[in-house]
Structure 1
Amino acid sequence: MFCRTNEERTGTKQNVGERKESGGMNENNLTQDIRFNPYRVRRFGLSSTQEAKALLYLERHGDTPRKALSRVFDLRLVERLAALGLVAQRGDTYCLTESGKAVLQGCLGEEHGRGVA
């Protein structure tokens, strides 16, 4: 009466756990693998670790369309970073500026091999 395995239910041999582990790239996982120190983040002029995560996301993805970025972060947060000069808006895409890269490197610090002198 009831399906015993995922294979019987959907016709695939892949279990739910295997599906999560296999190359299905979740955008949030890219920002969750690094934990930012809130004190270090504030020292470099950011108000939250979410802002640092947004900078990291933009560094890893390059030019990011507004619609894709809005699925991951609140656009008000990204607009605040743009007002600080850390993120540039070109048309409908956002990208990291040189000062944004410097702030991100400072926030990551030495524990990630990107420390500042």
Structure 2
Amino acid sequence: KEKIMEELRAILKSGVPRKILGANLLILALWYLKKFRGYLKWRKSILDAYPLTKPNLLLGNIPDIIEAGGFDESYFKTLHSKFGEFAGFFLFPTMLNFSTANPDHVMELYK
């Protein structure tokens, strides 16, 4: 038992666990960076493909919704006055939503 404890103390003093922890944290940070880069590419492709107000990176279009007076008819009137019958918006960073001002478009979905 004493020999095992001495070996553990020697390992801890050598700095190996700290190096292993540092390497793991670096790998984790690089993985998150790769995921975030993928998110930014997806976000750009969505913004280029659809009529959307430019969202805040962390809040989506929540500031626009607050400015319009809330998530009600006033926001959608503002949204459709800018973009026409079909428009999109983000609730928070990744919750992409689309809205149409034409009821016939909605009925087309249910056919």
TM-score by length of 2: 0.29
Indicate the structure (1 or 2) with the bigger Cα radius of gyration: 2
TM-score by length of 1: 0.28
